[in-house]
Amino acid sequence: MDAKNLHGVIVLDKSADISSARAVAAVKKILKAKKVGHSGTLDPFATGVLVCCINQATKLARFFLEGSKKYQAVLHLGSETDTQDATGTTIAACPDVSVSAQQVRTVCELFEGEYWQVPPVFSALKHQGTPLYKFARSGNPIQKPPRRVEIRYIKVQAIDLPRIQFEVSCSAGTYIRTLCSDIGKKLGCGGHLQQLTRLESSGFTLAEAISLSDLKQMAGAGKIADAIIPMAQSLRGIPAMVADKALTDNIKHGRVVYAKSILPPSNNNPKGLIKILDTDQNLIAILDHHRESDRMKYLCVFDN
């Protein structure tokens, strides 16, 4: 099948030393797709899960951006950098890193739960339409106010000073390099992020990810469809219903759809979202239900 007519998600295993934008451009070129976007940037030095949305699935990126993330990180104690990671310039050093395993675990536990995090000045967040890293590189760093993030857990996996390897599950918008810097400061010796692999993003895992080289081979063999998760299957946390002809016609013509006609009596979906499939299991719409109204709100409608 022509990749221009394929719509869905590719879970890319991004390699180091390539930006997320370049990785997306490479996917678009390999697939010869009309549109490709991603849902959640990975820094160039980081590896792992990069969720790429193909063609009509670019409309779904908004639903993945707020999903939880899971990472494996290596924290290097005793050295602080201006970027909070290994790509930056050292700005402070502590020659004597003498902390116990118990101190490390205790400090890591302090960050679990809600955590007010100050975004790094070297980041893609924007100020007056310009990414912060451009201000920082020009010597005029802009500091954004703290933001509330959530650290669901930090599991210390290995301690080989000055390096600490850990796994962290966190909310969207969490900067792991800032977390490493903050842990280092709390331990009294400073630190920076040395390595980072994203293990999971919005339910997509590294186990199902594919490298750019493997994707290219599959495209050459005419098996690119095997690498794409269909749109209906990609929204894993949203309940689904199969529409009959009447509902399908109503949706395609933008008519009012009432919750009582499609939602079960006890709808336990706290967000009120529901994905509507046709009889061939293709995604035709995503609707939203607000408790104060019986009308369903159209979020996305897809051409099939």
- Distance (Å) of CA 81 to CA 91, 171, 191: 5, 24, 8
Only one residue has tokens 């979202």, namely 273
- Distance (Å) of CA 84 to CA 27, 118, 245, 249: 29, 12, 55, 53
Element (H, E) at 157: strand 147-160
Only one residue has tokens 């013509």, namely 253
- Rounded to whole angstroms, the Cα distance separating 288 from 148 reads 26
| Residues tagged active-site | 43
Closest by CA to 142, choosing from 117, 115, 119, is: 119
- Distance (Å) of CA 231 to CA 170, 188, 266: 25, 47, 26
Contact 203, 234 (CB under 8 A): no
